[in-house]
Amino acid sequence: MNRVIKVLKPVRSGRKSIDRGRALVTGGAGFLGSHLCERLLADGYEVIALDNFHTGKRYNLAGIARDAAFTCISHDVVDALPMDIAVDEIYNLACPASPPHYQADPIHTFKTSVLGAINLLELARRHNAKIFQASTSEVYGDPLVHPQPEGYFGNVNTHGPRACYDEGKRSAETLFFDYARTYGLDIRVARIFNTYGPRMRPDDGRVVSNFIVQALRGDDITVYGNGTQTRSFCYVDDLIEGFMRLM
C-alpha cells in the first residue's frame, strides 16, 4: 500500500495542444483503464493515470507513455489523495474485477471500492469535476430476473467469497448517489458486464479468457451449470465508446 505518490514522468513527445481538459483515470494501467487512457488522449484530453499496479501492468501503457499529455502516478486509492490534483473529469476504474484477483485480498478489495470512492468523490467535490463510477453486473448478485433491468435490486449474498467485490461496488454506487443528492455532484455510473479484447489477462478467471486458454491448450471447455445460462458480452472498444457517450 503506497503512502507516497510517485510520479512517473513521461518523455515529452512534442504534442502541442490540449483541447478537452484534464481527466484522471484510476486503475489506468488495467485492461479497461489503459484502453480508456488511449481514447481520452486521442480525443484531446490531458490524462493522468493512477494505479497501484497490483493487477495493472505498466506495459499496458507502453503505447502512450511517451505522449506529452500523459502522466502516470503510482498510488493506491485507499490512501488519501492530494486535493491539489486539479481535474475536470474523473473515471474510477480502480478495483480488480477478476475473481482470483479480488478474492486474494478481500478486505483490501472492499476498501478499494468504498474508501477509493470516498477519496475520489471528495476530489471531484473539491474541483467540481464530473465523476464516473465503473460498477458491475455483479451488483445484481445471482439474479432471479433475466435480463436484468436497471431497476432490479438483485439477489446478493452479503457474506460469500464474492461479496467483497459485489457489496463493495454496491456500496460505491450508494456513495455516488448520496454525494449527488447531498452536494449536487455530477456523477455517472455504468454497470459493466463481460468485456473482452486486447490486454485481457489469460489468468483473468472469467468465461472468455477461460474458454480461449482452454481451447489453445486443447483442454475440454469448462461450462458450469447445465449450459442454459446466458452472458452479455461487450468488446472493449465498444465499452469505452459507451463510457465516452455517457460522460
- What's the CATH number where 113 sits? 3.40.50.720
pLDDT of residue 228: 83
Contacts of 173 (CB under 8 A, 6+ apart): 133, 135, 139, 189
Higher-pLDDT residue of 210 and 33 is: 33
Q: Is the pLDDT of residue 82 over 70?
A: yes
At residue 202, the pLDDT reads: 84
Question: Is the residue at 209 inside a domain?
Answer: no
Q: Which residues of 105-133 are buried (b: 16+ CB within 10 A; e: fewer)?
A: eeebbbbbbbbbbbbbbebbbebebbbbb
Residue-level pLDDT at 208: 87
pLDDT-based confidence at residue 105 (cuts at 50, 70, 90): very high
- What gap in Å lies between CA 231 and CA 237, rounded to an integer? 18
Least confident of 90-99, 161-170, 190-199, 226-235: 226-235
Return the DSSP state at 195: E
Residue 89 pairs in a beta bridge with 23, 130
- Split at pLDDT 50, 70, 90, the class of 18 is low
User: Which residue is associated with the grid cell 507513455?
Assistant: 65
What residue numbers bound the domain in which 67 lies?
Answer: 6-198+233-246
Asked if residue 208 belongs to a domain, the reply is: no
Q: Is the peptide bond before 147 cis (omega within 30 degrees of 0)?
A: yes
Residues annotated catalytic, as ranges: 165
pLDDT at residue 136 tops 60: yes
- Quick one: pLDDT band at residue 103, thresholds 50, 70, 90? very high
Flag whether pLDDT at 12 surpasses 80. Answer: no
1 belongs to a structural domain = no
* pLDDT score recorded for residue 210: 87
Number of Cα atoms under 13 Å in the Cβ half of residue 46? 16
Out of 7-21, 136-150, 193-207, which region has the weakest mean confidence (pLDDT)? 7-21
Residue given cell 467535490 in the structure block? 125
**Residue 9, pLDDT above cutoff 70:** no
Region 62-91: mean pLDDT is 96
Number of folded domains that form the chain: 1
Averaged confidence pLDDT in the chain? 91
Predicted pLDDT at 7: 47
Beta bridge partners of 22: 46
Could you tell me if residue 223 is inside a domain?
no
Candidate from 9-13, 120-124, 158-162 with smallest mean pLDDT: 9-13
User: Percent of the chain beyond pLDDT 70?
Assistant: 93
Q: pLDDT for 167-197, tens place per residue?
A: 999 999 999 999 999 999 999 999 999 999 9
Whole-structure pTM value:
0.90
Tell me, yes or no, whether 55 lies in a domain.
Answer: yes
Sequence length of the chain is 247
Asked if residues 77 and 26 have their Cβ atoms less than 8 Å apart, the reply is: yes
Over 80: is that where the pLDDT of 3 sits? no
**Separation CA 45–CA 23 (nearest Å):** 7
Residue 28: inside a domain, yes or no? yes
Task: Report in angstroms the alpha-carbon separations of 148 from 7, 27, 176, 231.
Answer: 41, 27, 21, 11
Portion of the chain with pLDDT greater than 90, in percent: 79
Q: Does the pLDDT value for residue 143 go beyond 90?
A: yes
* Res 129 pLDDT > 90: yes
DSSP codes joined into one string, 139-192: GGBS-SSSSPPTT---B--SSSTTHHHHHHHHHHHHHHHHHHHHH---EEEEEE
